[in-house]
Structure 1
Amino acid sequence: MQFKDIIGQEVAKKHLLQTVKENRISHAQLFLSPSGSGALPLAIAYAQYINCEDRTETDSCGACASCRKYEKYIHPDLHFSYPFFASKDIKVATDVLEEWRQMLLENPYFDLDIWRSQLNADNKQANINMAECHDIIKKLSFKAFEAQTKVLIMWLPEFLDKEGNALLKIIEEPPAHTLFILVAQNQEQILSTILSRTQLVKIPKLTDTDITTYLIEKAGVSQNLAEEFSFLADGNLIEANTLVNDISNNNAGYFAEWLRMGYGNKVSAMIAFTETAASWGRENQKNFLRYGINFLRECSLILSGAENLVKLPQSTMEVAQKLSVHVLSMPMIEALVEELEKAHYHIERNANPKILFLDVSLQLVKIIKFKTLPQGNQYIYN
């Protein structure tokens, strides 16, 4: 990962380059930024620049042995720590290192929900546990294999509970030539004992211009649509990519039509839709269900009189307004979201998509057409 690969953040890049040129690299730094701003790829690019064997004034060379290994995230002196879902087979972060590397290679701009979708999370809570803290101490106690500086990048240190205090000594007095970079989103959730031992580097959200340029050049979106999506994303590139994916997969059209089928009690059409949805593949099915959940939550804002807070493209906004006025109610939305969240959970666990989407379709008919809302194991009729 080179600085040239990072979207926007020119001020942050200049600051980080300056710390290397002036030889004032703090051994423990906290990159604090909103989600989707690129703090994680920026941290990786910074580490690569520090260890580059032939760096320039503005970037790593991208061609030396160190850079080539950094580009694949396999450098022996580059270590990662991140929240994961512990189980009998997964004790520390390196147990899911291949999944982590694959995620970075596909797109280094992701959040916890996207990371969770790559793992078998079940009902577990993500955390960075005591075993992981001990593993970090063990790894960093060894001398560097190849690079001048060993680097540990910890993504979302907010998930360190009190166990994180085990890292205090090594953060405050690390082995020679060791760099800690903590990449966080919420300063208030970080242990104060760790926070006090790091140098804060604030990374702002991306500008609308940065996201617009990215969407036009990388995602092939038209100027008008790119400007609309950048406004809706509000500096979050992950959100901008989600909007693009929803358009390319026509999630808005499919979901609105699905709701209309439920309202019209069109069982034969729903069976045909089930066949279509089953052919999408697991990730697209999950994206469709996530879109539906987000769409319905935006509808709830319309029903609550908070239309100015709604973040939907104009074409989709018109559909949401019509459905909110003529079809949906707050109890309906709550019931529908509950059904979609359950469906998403089961898709993650490889449920049969034909059976699952048919079942959810029938639930839509109950909730929308017949206004039958779940209440525990009973149903109430309006």
Structure 2
Amino acid sequence: MLFSEIVGQKDIKRQLIQTVAEQRISHARLFLGPEGSGSLALALAYAQYISCENRSPDDSCGECSSCRKYNRLIHPDLHFSYPFFAKHKDDTALTFIEEWREAFLKNPYLNLDEWRLQLDADNKQANINIAECHQIIRKLSMKPFEAEYKVLIMWLPEYLDKEGNTLLKIIEEPPQKTLFLLVAQNQDQILNTILSRTQLLKINRLKDEEVKQHLIETIHVPALQASRISYLSEGNIQLAIQLSREESDHAFGRFTEWLRNSFGNKGLQLIEFSESASKWGRENQKNFLRYGSKLLREVMMVLSGAENLIHLPENEKEFVVKFSRSVDLNKTEALISEIEKAHYHIERNANPKILFLDVSLQFTRILKFNTLPKGTHYIYQ
């Protein structure tokens, strides 16, 4: 993985390269960033840059023996640890290394849901177990085979339970030329004993424009659709890639028609919409609801006097401005609340036909009959 292959994060790349140039390589570094920000890809690119036999001031060469092995994730001094779904108590990350290589090489921005789909997870909980901790200690106790450094990249250390304390000594006093690169999304869920022994590197979400350009140049998504997807994904390149595979360009028309039919109390059309939405598939339903929630948040921006901060395609911006004249903050908050509750229940396999019809009725109560649920906290001026 070359730095040049990673979307955005120019400042982070520069900072990492500088630590190598100045020989300030920390033995334990925590890459902390939201899902889809490229944290895992950055950790691998950093490890490859350190091990590269002919690196330039800006990137790995990509051609030396070390880089070729890194590109296939088979370098003998590169080790991975990650959450998995153990079927036996002796299972470790090494048990699933072929699946891991396939998943990462296919998409270096993968999330836990995509990783779960790669495995036969059933209903098992993901974790990094005690057997894996012992395996890490054994692997890192050996001398490097080829490179100057041995590297362990641990993805999602949040899934280390108290067994993670087994690693404290080797993290704090590692064998010579050993690097721990932890890649996390939620700092609060990491064991404090591990957190205190790492050097923190915070990685921000990607900019919408960076996501948009990646979709246009790499996946060849049309510009208008790329603009809509980048807005919806909120800097999450993994979500943007997922949305690019779906019919996300229909979301605007579907959602605005849903609101209009709810406002007009058109029962037959709402029933037909619910039947149609029930056939989209769970991920498409979740993405549709996510899109609607974001669009209504832009309505709240207009109602709050921040219209100049809206960055939407012209047709969506026009709708947001017009719709804001028909609602207030109370109604908009109530609509968003219903959408978010629906998203929660879709994730938990609620019956989509019943769910979408129920939300349609709630929309009608709010928009047509001005009936707001309890807990709406904005006050009429």
Whether TM-score is above 0.5 comes out as: yes
Which deviates the most, 351-360 or 204-213?
204-213
**Distance across 1 between alignment mates of 2:339 and 2:117:** 15
Matches within 5 A, 1:35-46: 36-46=36-46
**Match of residue 138 from structure 2:** 141
The answer to whether structure 1 residue 366 and structure 2 residue 370 are counterparts is no
**Match of residue 354 from structure 2:** 355
Given that 2:229 and 2:248 are in contact with CA atoms closer than 8 Å, whether structure 1 keeps it comes out as no
**Distance across 1 between alignment mates of 2:11 and 2:175:** 30
**Match of residue 122 from structure 2:** none
CA RMSD of aligned residues (A): 5.1
Supply the AA of the counterpart residue of 1:337: I
Matches within 5 A, 1:113-262: 132=129, 135-136=132-133, 138-142=135-139, 143=142, 148=147, 149-155=149-155, 167-183=167-183, 194=194, 197-201=197-201, 210-211=210-211, 213-221=213-221, 237=237, 248-262=248-262
Supply the AA of the counterpart residue of 1:354: K
Q: So what's the TM-score if we normalise by structure 1?
A: 0.69
Matches within 5 A, 1:8-19: 8-10=8-10, 12-13=12-13, 16-17=16-17
Deviation sequence 1:84-135 (CA, Å, 0-9, x none): 9x9999999959989977764554336789889999xxxxxx9x98x75784
Instruction: Give me the identity figure in percent.
Output: 51
Q: Cα distance, 1:13 vs. partner?
A: 3.9
- 5+ residue gaps, structure 1: 120-125, 377-382
- 5+ residue gaps, structure 2: 120-124, 376-381
**Distance across 1 between alignment mates of 2:158 and 2:46:** 22
Supply the AA of the counterpart residue of 1:136: C
Given that 1:158 and 1:190 are in contact with CA atoms closer than 8 Å, whether structure 2 keeps it comes out as yes
SS in 2 for 1:183: strand
Given that 1:133 and 1:167 are in contact with CA atoms closer than 8 Å, whether structure 2 keeps it comes out as no
**Distance across 2 between alignment mates of 1:74 and 1:366:** 61
Aligned length: 369
The answer to whether structure 1 residue 30 and structure 2 residue 30 are counterparts is yes
Q: Cα distance, 1:368 vs. partner?
A: 2.6
**Match of residue 337 from structure 1:** 336
Which deviates the most, 308-317 or 172-181?
308-317
Deviation sequence 1:235-260 (CA, Å, 0-9, x none): 66568668867984321221111111
Are residues 224 and 375 of structure 1, via their aligned partners in 2, closer, same or farther at CA, if it must alter by over 3 Å?
closer
Q: So what's the TM-score if we normalise by structure 2?
A: 0.70
SS in 2 for 1:273: helix
**Distance across 1 between alignment mates of 2:224 and 2:249:** 19
Are residues 4 and 34 of structure 1, via their aligned partners in 2, closer, same or farther at CA, if it must alter by over 3 Å?
same
**Match of residue 79 from structure 1:** 80
**Match of residue 122 from structure 1:** none
Are residues 259 and 375 of structure 1, via their aligned partners in 2, closer, same or farther at CA, if it must alter by over 3 Å?
same
